[in-house]
Amino acid sequence: MDSIPEGFAPASFSSGFLNVAGPYYTRKDDDHIAVGIRITEGHLNGIEVAHGGVLTTLADVALSYQLFVSEKPRLPIATINLNTNFLTGAKLGDWVVAHAHIDRKGKRTAYCHGEIFADERLLMTMTGVFALLRK
């Protein structure tokens, strides 16, 4: 249950909240960076599935991280809007992976979409609008 799938490494991003919400892992795929998390007891709600906030945080992290790494120097990002569609729950021990894709990126705003899976089970879809805090 504690094993991390091959190809994933501890995430290089960190903050007080993300340290509590995670730990997160990343993997470079062909056209994006996948973000993964193992569902632990601390992620569960009263009906024994991952709390919606856990998956929503993962959605926000994956979408914004995809933008963050899309340029060098790295882009500071702020979420303007995040829409999520919960399709089914993640269970204790599930390895959950978010895939994020950039739809459009301008000078000050970017649009992304993505999906979250546990194995082949689609748990959530998401879209987001982000402010690019360029200097």
pTM of the predicted model, to two decimals? 0.93
CA distance 128 to 102: 10
What pLDDT does residue 115 have? 98
- Residue 1 burial (10 A CB sphere; 0-12, 13-18, 19+): exposed
Report domain extents, the chain: 9-132
Contact 90, 118 (CB under 8 A): yes
Max distance between CA atoms of the chain, in angstroms, equals 45
- Comparing CA positions, the residue from 70, 66, 50 lying closest to residue 127 is 66
What pLDDT does residue 2 have? 66
What pLDDT does residue 18 have? 82
Sites in the chain below the pLDDT cut of 50: none
List the CATH code of the domain at 9-132. 3.10.129.10
Contact 111, 127 (CB under 8 A): yes
